[in-house]
Structure 1
Amino acid sequence: MANHKSALKRIRQNKKRALHNKYYAKTMRNAVRKLRAITDKDEAIKMYPSVQKILDKLAKTNIIHKNKAANLKSGLCKHIATLG
C-alpha cells in the first residue's frame, strides 16, 4: 500500500481515468463493429465520418495509438469500398 498522500491520490486518479478510458474504448469498438455490420453502402458512407471523429479523438487523447486509429480508418474505408 502507498505511504504518501500524493501516491494515494495518484491511485485514485488512475482508477478514475482507467474507467473513463475503458468506456470510450468500448464505445469506439462498438461503433466500428456497427459500421462493419452495415451492408448498405450509402448508410455506411453516412456513418463513417462519425466513426472517424471518434477514432481521431481517442488517438488525440492517447486512449488508442495514432497508428491503430489510422489502421482502423483504412480498414473501414476498404470495407465501404467493397460494398455494392
Structure 2
Amino acid sequence: MPWDRTLVDAEILAVHAAFLNYDKIVYFSGSQYDGQMPTGIENTRLYDCATGSVTKIAGGPGFDLFCCGHSLSANGTLLAAGGTAT
C-alpha cells in the first residue's frame, strides 16, 4: 500500500527520515519552531511499515537535530551528526 499521510498521525514535524533494513522508518525533527519546548527535545519516532504504528523512541538525542546530516552504515546503523544549537 502506498504512503498516505491521512492514515498516520506522525506526531511530530519530521525533518529527516531514514528507511531501516527491517521495514521501519525512523524520522526526527528539531524544536519545531517552538520556543517554549522543554530543554530535552524528544522528537524521534519509529514508523512500522507493516502495522502502520508510530512509536516514540525513548532516550532520543535530547537536542535539536534540525539541519543535521545523516547516513546509514552497511549494517544499518544510523549516524546523525550536527544540528542546531538551542
Same fold at TM > 0.5? no
Which structure: larger Rg?
Answer: 1
Larger relative contact order (C-alpha < 8 A, sep ≥ 6)?
1
TM-score, reference length from structure 2: 0.25
TM-score, reference length from structure 1: 0.26
**Which one has the bigger helix percentage?**
1
**Which one has the bigger strand percentage?**
2
